[in-house]
Amino acid sequence: MKRLIALLLLSTPALALAQAENGPNGADTAWIMTATALVLFMTLPGLALFYGGLVRSKNVLSVLMQCFTIAGAVSVVWFLFGYSLAFGGNGAWIGDFSKLMLVGVGHDTLNGTIPESLFMMFQMTFAIITPALIVGGFAERMKFSAMLAFSLIWLVVVYAPVTHWVWGGGWLQEMGLYDFAGGTVVHITAGVAALVAAMVLGPRKGFGSSALMPHNMTMTVAGAGMLWVGWFGFNGGSALAADGYASMAILVTHLSAAMGTLTWLTIEWIRYGKPSMLGAATGMVAGLGTITPASGFVGPGGAVVIGLLAGIVCFSATNFLKKVLKIDDSLDVFPVHGVGGMLGTLLAGVFSATTLGVFSGYGFAEGIGSMAGQLKVQAIGVIATLVFTAVATWIILKLLDAVIGLRVSDEEETQGLDLSQHEERGYDL
Amino acid sequence: MKRLIALLLLSTPALALAQAENGPNGADTAWIMTATALVLFMTLPGLALFYGGLVRSKNVLSVLMQCFTIAGAVSVVWFLFGYSLAFGGNGAWIGDFSKLMLVGVGHDTLNGTIPESLFMMFQMTFAIITPALIVGGFAERMKFSAMLAFSLIWLVVVYAPVTHWVWGGGWLQEMGLYDFAGGTVVHITAGVAALVAAMVLGPRKGFGSSALMPHNMTMTVAGAGMLWVGWFGFNGGSALAADGYASMAILVTHLSAAMGTLTWLTIEWIRYGKPSMLGAATGMVAGLGTITPASGFVGPGGAVVIGLLAGIVCFSATNFLKKVLKIDDSLDVFPVHGVGGMLGTLLAGVFSATTLGVFSGYGFAEGIGSMAGQLKVQAIGVIATLVFTAVATWIILKLLDAVIGLRVSDEEETQGLDLSQHEERGYDL
Amino acid sequence: MKRLIALLLLSTPALALAQAENGPNGADTAWIMTATALVLFMTLPGLALFYGGLVRSKNVLSVLMQCFTIAGAVSVVWFLFGYSLAFGGNGAWIGDFSKLMLVGVGHDTLNGTIPESLFMMFQMTFAIITPALIVGGFAERMKFSAMLAFSLIWLVVVYAPVTHWVWGGGWLQEMGLYDFAGGTVVHITAGVAALVAAMVLGPRKGFGSSALMPHNMTMTVAGAGMLWVGWFGFNGGSALAADGYASMAILVTHLSAAMGTLTWLTIEWIRYGKPSMLGAATGMVAGLGTITPASGFVGPGGAVVIGLLAGIVCFSATNFLKKVLKIDDSLDVFPVHGVGGMLGTLLAGVFSATTLGVFSGYGFAEGIGSMAGQLKVQAIGVIATLVFTAVATWIILKLLDAVIGLRVSDEEETQGLDLSQHEERGYDL
Amino acid sequence: MKLITAIIKPYKLDDVRDALGELGIQGMTVTEVKGFGRQKGHTELYRGAEYVVDFQPKLKLEVAVAADRVEDIVEAIRNAANTGKIGDGKIFVSPLEDAVRIRTGERGPEAL
Amino acid sequence: MKLITAIIKPYKLDDVRDALGELGIQGMTVTEVKGFGRQKGHTELYRGAEYVVDFQPKLKLEVAVAADRVEDIVEAIRNAANTGKIGDGKIFVSPLEDAVRIRTGERGPEAL
Amino acid sequence: MKLITAIIKPYKLDDVRDALGELGIQGMTVTEVKGFGRQKGHTELYRGAEYVVDFQPKLKLEVAVAADRVEDIVEAIRNAANTGKIGDGKIFVSPLEDAVRIRTGERGPEAL
Ligand SMILES: Nc1ncnc2c1ncn2[C@@H]1O[C@H](COP(=O)(O)OP(=O)(O)O)[C@@H](O)[C@H]1O
Ligand SMILES: Nc1ncnc2c1ncn2[C@@H]1O[C@H](COP(=O)(O)OP(=O)(O)O)[C@@H](O)[C@H]1O
Ligand SMILES: Nc1ncnc2c1ncn2[C@@H]1O[C@H](COP(=O)(O)OP(=O)(O)O)[C@@H](O)[C@H]1O
């Protein structure tokens, strides 16, 4: 987040204020409006299609519906009090209710150089995609009602506080955590929550014994392309300005995605004799997720290495989870986003170093003098987010299971969620 | 439209001129180029996919083809004289021929702070989507030739004048009508025209007796997502600037879409026991269409109420039309866009009030002192647009029916329009 | 390219420098970041879907995979040395290694008014789409390994030098060639390479005797819509600024696409009795490809004529290639992009004239006084690009054929590339 | 028992089902098939390349019935599926030696 | 030889194939079909328009076997496909006069 | 009359149709089916999860013919569909008791 950079670079509040008092910047506003559209586009239809293609035909609408409903419900909650909890006040742990329903925000209320309404919208698109990512963990077996309840409670209990810690002036931000666009806030929280959900719900019927194949890889690839493009808004927009920081964030994002793609498909090529389209797309997402926390701090040389490591590590994690741990994280949210988010948050502490020659980045956080120092902060960020998310998610799910039940019946699962939850079918060709 | 706001705020022409003389604004230009791309994206492929998925497999290409051909043909007509009819001169009822073929428009000709070529393009994308929306009313039964003739005649006879009334300096604009991004100009005209077309053409074979089901809901959802994102350009771009007005317009647009989604699916959930993906997507479109005229004038609190009402009213209208009136408006253009446009135009007169606490907006039009006053203007705008569109559309269709015939033969309809009109098939999987 | 214009208008380096020293422009940066996203969107998922829908079901993933892998691999090569070869130094024929791995490029390094990292990214998206276009020439029969090797070698041997000639300060740019956004650099090179590839590889099994039909026209149309929208970034972004030049480039681009669409479908309507969706979409691409080199130099009147000619000429070329020459350029890359690129590069020399009344453009290149003079330069550009590309592509392919073999076995071709190259299937509905 | 197999035009399915329903037949199995016959296909053009699509989409209905009902049923299908135009399709009758209802194990005509 | 045709619920395919495999039967041909029968469909609502989807997705298995194996195989299919719920499907047995293996030209039971 | 049912490799359809055309047979009905047999499928990997796709896509051709033409036709199909490789498929011959042309009501061999 550019805000973060601003806070770090301009260490005196007076200066920060001065910048804000400079008034609105049209170019920054133009870019962040665009970036906001791009990030919404990542979820709708991007992620929805990416995920939708990977499930079986009988469940495709349930996944699309989950993404859509989350977009709707999260937006309203974010407006009512979510934004205030994340970005209101100066608490170390959680925001306050000062920005409830955007009270007092008008056309000319600013956040930095852009309208606050825009900052809130941009953040809202992040708040939408994070629970939408979790859908991949419990896909093809969760009740729609439970999914909706879970997503909203999780938004308030997990997402809002972690956002506050990292971007809202909370303790991790104070400590100098480098998370430019959401390695901890978005990817670790979503990945860990998906893993916990997969474990609490248990595997899909037939997991391990019969084929639970993607029903439409062309849909998945269409979504993957949209994710790649949309991610320019995700990371580039996090600079909150139309400047060299934003451009560089886009460049490193793109290079990491490219390397992730190539790495994953190369591993498959070597190991299985053939590279696959799904492998390429998954590597791309791994590259994107991993560079996310680092994207404002590293240079293009570092980005290439990050993409390479993303491919290797996330590939291994995917196989480990599926083949060794035999956990049915349906669409591999944890190994790709969770592991990628952790890896990237740590690597942000490495490749932000200015002393790595062609792999150099743009320096550590204000007040942190060494890679070890930055890495320590990064590790604290990773662990805190991981542990908090895991525990909170587990509790939410267990409670919900007791109250309304999480999983559809066996018969409904066999029939498919499209018919059992929505009385609709994806195709009638 | 920002232009409108400018006209209203800067009530003396001299001042308006002064602003124009300030010269071009790069940020505004950057944003409106982006918005123009987003609005084109709403039609191609957005609306084309949204509509295409809802028809039967044998007619999918005909719908895509109609959207594509309209995009091509409207653009050329708009360039030749459509734009001039809508935005040339100062007549109360219709423009003039002063801007035929953009005579005299160069790189540095401005409209406000943006190049006139860009203003004309931005408006062109609105002129494209409006007849494309009507396609939903006569889908699956109209001859391609008749469709093309109708769309172009309608553009000139209905769309261009109404645009002039509301945005081109015509009588409704003079009167102070609030239509920020096209509640009257786009949604009421398209909705009413679709209804008239559905009535003149008569229902599809099998309407009411057999299943005329959507053939590909995933395509419809992909299109719905694109509409949501593209609408940021539609409403946000209508500010014609990259500023707090544009940002706020995007925020209220998004919130209304979110509430529309939630409302429609909740009604279904209560009434039928299950919420549907198509319901969610339809509620979203209803929310978007309804906020459109109001999007520059209301605050986020008002937007939430508008989205809620959009869901309730458009849901009821859809059922009423289908079950009570038994009119085969194939893809429900009138109950969603027409009714939504009317509702939104009226609500713009309510929630622009500054005295509604958290539901307040940003004030009535210059010279209008009360909600009753604004509402009266809004009602006049709604009724005038509705009546004029209905009559003109009916006459155009009746004439065309007499001259070239509107509807394909029974056999062609049974075979499907893809083969009978285009000798192509959508799928060969 | 705006750079080009700048170079031509500001003929003294001092002045050019002065402009650069003006520092970064946020609005230009905002727009070019957007344009970069739009051009990437043209390839992923735009072109991938456009092409993917046109092949048979058993090869759809191979096409998507080729586009994805090219995006990944080209990006990395571009970063390592491709960009430097194209835009480093001042050689007449080829760049140098001064910008290897973007050495020395930081947040505030500029290229004109935008960050150099952004200029490099924007150009990267062009370097991605060009080899991706070639995929259409050899689709459904090339080995994945050969495709990858070919694409990368071709990028370095053909694309980088031609880019340098035209945009990197090379001999064609010096001579005053008008190629705003890639008629020679992108479309002629891709079209000619596709033709040569089609000839070297030979036709697909069954070409001419059995049906090699598109398997999913809805996918193709979705991609076509994305291409149309994305092209606003392609041509509008090539102004490298958010100004009247960019706006006008978008307007002429749009009008040419519209006329191309209408022209192609009208010819079909007259000749075959029915207009087709694929015809409309192909005409659109022809219109877009043809206006590309001219888009910064011609006015809207000229654009309409260019679109008309694009439709007529590319339609004829497609039929000629398929029916007379019987060359199996699978997805008609040469007749649409190659021929369109040549036509457009020549027409840029015509419609840039300021003396054509309503069809006037914005003047010839600095130092060129007549249409004949400009046309001569344009013709040299076309011929040089054509000959160089043809020869170099032929040599690369022949060498690769000898070393690793270009084509899959008969059996693999019958089975389909999805299974034989990637062990995946597109659909399991 | 006999197996009656009818190849019909797709849009006639509802009519045929209604006709069979009136005869008390409710079970049947339907398959989407491609029919080649006297009824010719059409030519599609994709960018100038002609593709002759020489099959017609048809539905195949399979109905297992007791032997004595064959004539009625054949007649009913014929009446319902008939348009008088080429390509209306065929009805085939073939012997069926046994039938089993999986759920109950009933055999013979009771299983239908 | 006989042709055994079974209409089963789609998710039972693996079970049936396993059961047949145990009897040494490995060849069969499977078709996706729409089944109409006692088992009723469901109603889908699209924006208030009700569509009764009255067919059930089923799979049709065709297995050609030597005449003396019919009983065993019918029994095996029945056991594997049985859920006790309505809509479990049917097994039909019909006469088969000849069979040819295209590759070798073998005829009769050897061809299977 | 007899019903000849052939399971063939999909890309052999045109050859078989040509061969039948030469024998004067023009009507037939074709279904897309999944074949299980000696010819093995392949394994697909999706993010490390292995899915054994053990069926082969095949086409099923059904041709009703007069009894005396059976041998010629079987032979023609066999020749046209044969590649000598495993998985070439089967031809089955079964009895057909009646055939009706829906359009005209003709019955028996005339109806074909
Ligand atoms: N000999 C045959 N064996 C199997 N099916 C046939 C045969 N002849 C025709 N059919 C099927 O019947 C359909 C209709 O036949 P066609 O010759 O077109 O018209 P008609 O039914 O009017 O004689 C064909 O599309 C095909 O599916
Ligand atoms: N008379 C029949 N002829 C052919 N197929 C039938 C017949 N009756 C039923 N079927 C098939 O068997 C399936 C199951 O039949 P149904 O009556 O629903 O339940 P059950 O098998 O329990 O009797 C149907 O969906 C249909 O495909
Ligand atoms: N007993 C059988 N009953 C029905 N169909 C069979 C039988 N055996 C094989 N088939 C069909 O024939 C196809 C080819 O059989 P397969 O054993 O693979 O090779 P081959 O034809 O060379 O013996 C299978 O895919 C299946 O569709």
In this prediction, residue F9 carries a pLDDT of 96
Q: Taking the C-alpha atoms of A359, A362, A365 and A367 in order, what is their torsion angle to the nearest 10 degrees? A: 100
- pLDDT above 50 for A300: yes
Sign, CA dihedral B339-B343-B346-B348, equals negative
Chains touching B, CB cut-off 8 Å, 3+ pairs: A, C, D, E
**B143 neighbors B409 (Cβ within 8 angstroms):** no
Q: Give the homologous superfamily in CATH for domain B39-422.
A: Ammonium transporter AmtB like domains (1.10.3430.10)
Place of tokens 């699962």: A413
Place of tokens 């990395």: C76
Q: Determine the distance separating the centroid of ligand 3 and the alpha carbon of B393, expressed in angstroms.
A: 62
Instruction: Show the tokens assigned to B267.
Output: 């009604």
Q: How far apart are CA C137 and CA C124, in angstroms?
A: 22
- Is the CB of D60 within 6 Å of ligand 1? no
Angle, in degrees to the nearest 10, between helices B60-77 and C244-272:
130
Instruction: Show the tokens assigned to B105.
Output: 């428009």
In degrees rounded to 5, what are phi and psi of residue E6?
-120, 135
Place of tokens 């004799």: A273
Q: Does A54 touch chain C (CB under 8 A)?
A: no
**B31 neighbors B242 (Cβ within 8 angstroms):** yes
Stretches where chain C sits below pLDDT 50 are 1-21
Q: How far is CA C411 from CA C52, C212, C421, F86, in A?
A: 21, 17, 12, 14
Instruction: Show the tokens assigned to B165.
Output: 């009334």
Instruction: Show the tokens assigned to E3.
Output: 């042709």
Nearest CA to B206 among D12, D76, D58, E33? D12
In this prediction, residue A211 carries a pLDDT of 82
Among the partner-chain residues B31, B218, B278, the one whose CB lies closest to the CB of A33 is B31
Q: Determine the distance separating the centroid of ligand 3 and the alpha carbon of F43, expressed in angstroms.
A: 20
In this prediction, residue A22 carries a pLDDT of 66
- Is the CB of D112 within 6 Å of ligand 2? yes
Q: Does C423 touch chain A (CB under 8 A)?
A: yes
Q: How far apart are CA A105 and CA B222, in angstroms?
A: 33
Average pLDDT value for chain B: 94
**B277 neighbors B324 (Cβ within 8 angstroms):** no
In this prediction, residue C2 carries a pLDDT of 43
For B161-174, the pLDDT digits (tens) are 999 999 999 999 99
Chain C environment of A304 (Cβ under 8 Å): 76, 79
Cα distance from N-terminal residue to C-terminal residue, chain B: 46
Who lines ligand 3 at CB under 6 A? E 27-29, 62-64, 101-103, 112; F 7, 35-39, 56, 58, 86-90
Beta partners for residue C407, in sequence order: C142
Q: How far apart are CA F93 and CA C376, in angstroms?
A: 73
Q: Name all contacts of C365-370 with Cβ < 8 Å and 24+ positions apart.
A: C365/C8, C365/C176, C365/C177, C365/C178, C366/C8, C366/C9, C366/C11, C366/C176, C367/C176, C368/C176
- Using the beta-carbon criterion (under 8 Å), do F111 and D90 form an inter-chain contact? yes
Q: How far is CA A315 from CA A307, A321, A324, C93, in A?
A: 12, 10, 13, 42
- Using the beta-carbon criterion (under 8 Å), do A120 and B251 form an inter-chain contact? yes
- Using the beta-carbon criterion (under 8 Å), do C79 and A241 form an inter-chain contact? no
Q: Is the peptide bond before B45 cis (omega within 30 degrees of 0)?
A: yes
Residue with the smallest CA separation from ligand 3 atom 25 is: F35
- Is the CB of D81 within 6 Å of ligand 1? no
Q: How far apart are CA B408 and CA B410, in angstroms?
A: 7
* Over residues F68-83, mean pLDDT: 96
* Over residues B266-279, mean pLDDT: 98
Chain E environment of B211 (Cβ under 8 Å): 51-53
Band of residue B287 on the pLDDT scale cut at 50, 70, 90: very high
- Is the CB of D8 within 6 Å of ligand 1? no
Place of tokens 């060129």: C368
| Helix then strand then coil, % of chain D, to nearest 5 | 30, 40, 30
Sign, CA dihedral C325-C330-C334-C340, equals positive
Of C294 and A105, the structure prediction assigns the larger pLDDT to C294
Q: How far apart are CA C160 and CA B349, in angstroms?
A: 58
Question: Which helix (H) or strand (E) covers residue A86, if one does?
Answer: helix A83-87
Q: Determine what percent of chain A is predicted with pLDDT higher than 70.
A: 95
Q: Determine the distance separating the centroid of ligand 3 and the alpha carbon of C421, expressed in angstroms.
A: 26
Nearest CA to C306 among C365, C259, C247, C342? C259
- pLDDT above 90 for B23: no
Kindly give, in sequence order, each residue whose CB lies less than 8 Å from that of residue C403, ignoring residues fewer than 6 positions away. Answer: none
Q: Does B23 touch chain C (CB under 8 A)?
A: no
- Is the CB of D6 within 6 Å of ligand 2? no
Q: Where do runs of H (alpha helix) occur along C176-238?
A: 189-201, 217-237
For A322-372, the pLDDT digits (tens) are 999 999 999 999 999 999 999 999 999 999 999 999 999 999 999 999 999
* Over residues B341-370, mean pLDDT: 97
Q: Determine the distance separating the centroid of ligand 2 and the alpha carbon of D101, expressed in angstroms.
A: 8
Question: In whole angstroms, what separates CA C88 from the centre of its chain?
Answer: 22
CB atoms within 10 A of CB E85: 10
- Using the beta-carbon criterion (under 8 Å), do B213 and E47 form an inter-chain contact? no
- Using the beta-carbon criterion (under 8 Å), do F46 and A276 form an inter-chain contact? yes
Domain map (residue ranges) of chain A: 39-422
For F42-71, the pLDDT digits (tens) are 899 999 888 888 899 999 999 999 999 999
Helix H, strand E, coil C: the string for C330-341 is CCCHHHHHHHHH
In this prediction, residue C22 carries a pLDDT of 66
Substitution target in B423, B424, B425, B427 with the highest count of D β-carbons within 10 Å is B423
Chain F environment of C212 (Cβ under 8 Å): none
Q: How far apart are CA B191 and CA C354, in angstroms?
A: 44
Chain F environment of D58 (Cβ under 8 Å): 29
Of B115 and D39, the structure prediction assigns the larger pLDDT to B115
Q: How far apart are CA C255 and CA F50, in angstroms?
A: 50
Sign, CA dihedral B202-B203-B205-B206, equals negative
In this prediction, residue C23 carries a pLDDT of 83
Residue to substitute in D1, D26, D28 for testing ligand 2 pocket (most ligand atoms within 8 angstroms of CB): D28
For B330-355, the pLDDT digits (tens) are 999 999 999 999 999 999 999 999 99
**A163 neighbors A155 (Cβ within 8 angstroms):** no
- Using the beta-carbon criterion (under 8 Å), do E47 and B323 form an inter-chain contact? no
Q: How far apart are CA A170 and CA A1, in angstroms?
A: 14
Chains touching F, CB cut-off 8 Å, 3+ pairs: A, C, D, E
User: Model pTM?
Assistant: 0.96
Q: How far apart are CA B334 and CA B331, in angstroms?
A: 9
CB atoms within 10 A of CB C130: 27
One-character DSSP codes across B258-324: HHHHHHHHHHHHHHHSS--HHHHHHHHHHHHHHHGGGTTTB-HHHHHHHHHHHHHHHHHHHHIIIII
- pLDDT above 60 for A2: no
- Using the beta-carbon criterion (under 8 Å), do D101 and E85 form an inter-chain contact? no
Q: Where do runs of H (alpha helix) occur along B320-370?
A: 333, 339-351
In this prediction, residue B13 carries a pLDDT of 34
Q: How far apart are CA A122 and CA C12, in angstroms?
A: 43
Q: How far apart are CA B78 and CA B85, in angstroms?
A: 9
- pLDDT above 70 for D36: yes
In this prediction, residue B2 carries a pLDDT of 43
- Counts of helices then strands in chain E (DSSP H, E): 2, 7
The DSSP 8-state label assigned to residue E29 in this structure reads E
For A133-160, the pLDDT digits (tens) are 999 999 999 999 999 999 999 999 999 9
Q: How far apart are CA C243 and CA C239, in angstroms?
A: 8
In degrees rounded to 5, what are phi and psi of residue C330?
-45, -50
Band of residue A258 on the pLDDT scale cut at 50, 70, 90: very high
- Using the beta-carbon criterion (under 8 Å), do C27 and B29 form an inter-chain contact? yes
Nearest CA to A305 among A263, A267, A364? A263
Nearest CA to C80 among C141, C155, C167? C155
Q: How far apart are CA A92 and CA C166, in angstroms?
A: 56
- pLDDT above 70 for E82: yes
* Complex ipTM more than 0.85, yes or no: yes
Q: How far apart are CA A399 and CA A411, in angstroms?
A: 24
Q: Where do runs of H (alpha helix) occur along B139-243?
A: 144-154, 160-167, 171-175, 189-201, 217-237
One-character DSSP codes across F7-50: EE-GGGHHHHHHHHHHTT---EEEEEEEEESSS--EEEEETTEE
**C159 neighbors C87 (Cβ within 8 angstroms):** no
Q: How far apart are CA A333 and CA B234, in angstroms?
A: 34
Instruction: Show the tokens assigned to D41.
Output: 């296909």
In this prediction, residue C11 carries a pLDDT of 34
Q: Does F27 touch chain D (CB under 8 A)?
A: yes
Q: How far is CA A110 from CA A23, A84, A90, A117, C323, in A?
A: 8, 15, 18, 8, 63
* Over residues B78-104, mean pLDDT: 95
